[in-house]
Amino acid sequence: MNPSLTGGLAPPQALTLKKAAKRPKPASQAIPKTKSAKVPKRRVNRFNGMTEEEVALRGLPDYLREGLDIVFIGINPSLAAAYSGKYYDGPGNHFWQALFLSGLIDKPMGPHDDYKLMDMGIGFTNVCPRTTRGVADLSKAEIAAGAVVLKEKLLKYRPKIAVFNGKSIYQVYSESKKFMFGRQPEPLDHEGSTWIWVMPSSSARCAQLPRAVDKVPFFSALIKFRDFLHGKTAEPDEAEIVFANVVLKNAPRRPKVKVEQEEPPAEDSI
């Protein structure tokens, strides 16, 4: 371009803009990278300062004698039951509620009354005497040995009805998965002195029967069969004492939550 036409000014030159370089942060402003802090484990004091190992050294007595109408059978003592020394003392267990709602006992009772039921013709025992956190802690050999001892007890004391309180309990005892709830087809012995009865677990974890009233029909049917064996009533129809249409599936296992025992002080127990 002619400079005379632009008043003697040189044409503007193209400008190139560059981004300013980042300045390093002063050492005092630098944020160090750290690993996320671990969530502290939940601490629970369930047993008045006792550890689970100490509670596991406890157990439950057998409440057995000749002439009982019914003996309720569990798999083995839970930590809660072993700590208190009482049957079906776990949180949320529906056993005592269902016992009363069905009419098997005439007034509300609880775990602290377990020994009193012998005067009402009801006893208690377990397949295995050892206390554990769960059934998975029992070995197959231990369960097999317990089943032999249990049969010897039942043959000795001869209750009219031996009640397995839970599907899984009868499965480990009988080594069979094919059976129905209620009265089993054959008695324990050839004389027919003791009949086997299977009912759903009274535990609140029984998801398909979540309330105490859901379990009452199995206790009510037990009364009908007991009264028949005593000669008080006519033989009930099989549909009244065998629950052919009830099929319960085992609930899927939930992931375990790690729980640490609270050490002293003892007054913080729940």
Q: What per-residue confidence (pLDDT) applies to 199?
A: 96
Of 209, 126, 127, residue with least CA distance to 175: 127
Q: What per-residue confidence (pLDDT) applies to 191?
A: 87
Q: How far apart are CA 125 and CA 237, in angstroms?
A: 29
Q: What per-residue confidence (pLDDT) applies to 134?
A: 87
- Look at strands 195-199 and 181-183 and give their pairing: antiparallel
Supply the pTM of this predicted model. Answer: 0.76
Q: How far apart are CA 88 and CA 204, in angstroms?
A: 11
Q: What per-residue confidence (pLDDT) applies to 5?
A: 45
| Tens place of pLDDT per residue across the chain (270 aa) | 554 444 454 554 544 555 556 666 555 555 555 566 666 555 566 888 999 999 999 999 999 999 999 999 999 999 999 999 999 998 789 999 999 999 999 999 999 999 999 999 999 999 999 999 988 899 999 999 999 999 999 999 999 999 999 998 999 889 888 999 999 999 998 888 999 999 999 988 777 899 999 999 999 999 999 999 999 999 999 999 999 988 886 555 544 444 333 333 332 222
171 three-state secondary structure: helix
Of 159, 129, 142, residue with least CA distance to 62: 129
Q: How far apart are CA 152 and CA 164, in angstroms?
A: 16
